[in-house]
Amino acid sequence: MNLAEKLRRLAEVTSTQWGMITTAQAKTLGVSRVDLARMVDAGHLERLAHGVYRDSGTPDDRWSELRAAWLSTSPKLLAEARDRRGGDVTVAGESAALLNGIGDHRAHRHEFVAPQRRQTQRSDIRYRQRELDPVDVTLAEGLPVMTMERTIADLLESNIDFSLVADTLRDAVSRRDLDQERLMALLAPLAARNGLPTGDAQGLYDKLAETAQIDAAEAGEMIRRMSTRPALQEELMKLGLAGYAATLRAEHLALLEAIRPVLIERVLLGETLQLAGLGDLLTETPQDLLGETLQRAGLGDLLRETPQYLLGETPAARRARGLLGATPQLGLPGPELIPHDNDPRSMTGPASESETTGDE
């Protein structure tokens, strides 16, 4: 077989897997290691990694090394023939975070998980044994990789610095397609090792969110967006209630999730929330703060001038108070805050000056 025929055979494979081919794949095509070395010398191929070559005409990109490493984990199999639903080698850990575009990670090794135990002498590859649910595997840049939710849990399991994991969560939240329900299911088994009650997924999420200051970031973005669109309310009303609900869900859902302990502005309450599919937030409204109860608590003035938000005296509410304190930093008037704990007997009146500015 002459050189041209060998190159043609290699091209049939390289065209389907990022311009790359492994030594084992080439061997099945009748191309030996010596042939590959000669092709490198002639400029037809370049050696990309141990046992992996690439067509010299293929442009480089930031994922070339990771793809080459993944190909080398099962060098005889073509990329298109491999299981990419978690049954084979899957990109994990900090490599998965990089591939998903979340967090600020510097993966010094290519990290993979596989259902079976694997070992390697290569210093640039790390294996861990892990069986993954297919729902926790996705495709990114053509590679099977942990989903964002599984990546966050995997980073915690790998004892990555907690603040780095928190930053990863912040980036994932900003993507707006994070599966919160699945994330909670994955966080629950990790709560105890992070100093929280067993199974306390919400507590672990809150701890990560507080570390990453997710609340403040979300609030600042929403306030900035609203401040640049002064005619938003008028636009929404023109759309009618259904259009208003759709826009509410699209633009405010992330913020509503971030500040659940806060009583949402009155314009967002009632039927509009129900139509937007956010009716569960109505349960956050303490009914005992209304009407005669306010009068007995010495807060009757609230019936005449309702504050923008009412905050409970809970850890979550104190974080929300700091969140809302972001408004002055943006050059906007801060919201009026009235603390409460849902117990009229403990209410002494309107908040102090420091509380009404959002500062503690």
Which pLDDT band, with edges at 50, 70 and 90, does 280 fall under?
low
Output the DSSP codes for 31-87. --HHHHHHHHHTTSEEEEETTEEEETTSPP-TTHHHHHHHHHHSTTS-GGGS--SSS
Sequence-separated (6 or more) residues with CB below 8 Å from residue 185: 201
Q: How far apart are CA 124 and CA 119, in angstroms?
A: 12
- Joined together, the tokens standing for residue 182 give 């699945």
Sheet holding 110-114, edge to edge: 125-129, 110-114, 90-91, 143-146, 137-140
- Tens of pLDDT along 297-343? 454 454 444 444 444 444 444 544 444 444 444 343 444 444 444 44
Q: Which pLDDT does position 48 carry in this prediction? A: 93
Structure-model confidence comparison of residues 357 and 101, the more confident one: 101
**DSSP-assigned beta bridge partners for residue 90:** 113
DSSP code per residue over 105-137 = ---SSEEEEESS------TTEEEEE----GGGE
CATH topology of domain 3-59: Arc Repressor Mutant, subunit A (1.10.10)
Check whether 146 has a pLDDT greater than 50.
yes
How much of the chain exceeds pLDDT 70, in percent? 59
Q: Which amino acid is at 51?
A: G
**Confidence (pTM):** 0.62
Residue-wise pLDDT tens digits, 26-51:
999 999 999 999 999 999 999 999 99
Break the chain into its structural domains and give their ranges. 3-59, 90-212, 251-356
pLDDT at position 180 is 87
For 178-226, how does the pLDDT look when each residue is reduced to its tens digit (9 = 90+)? Answer: 898 899 999 999 999 999 999 999 889 989 988 887 654 454 444 444 4
Q: What is the CA angle 94-57-79, rounded to 5? A: 50
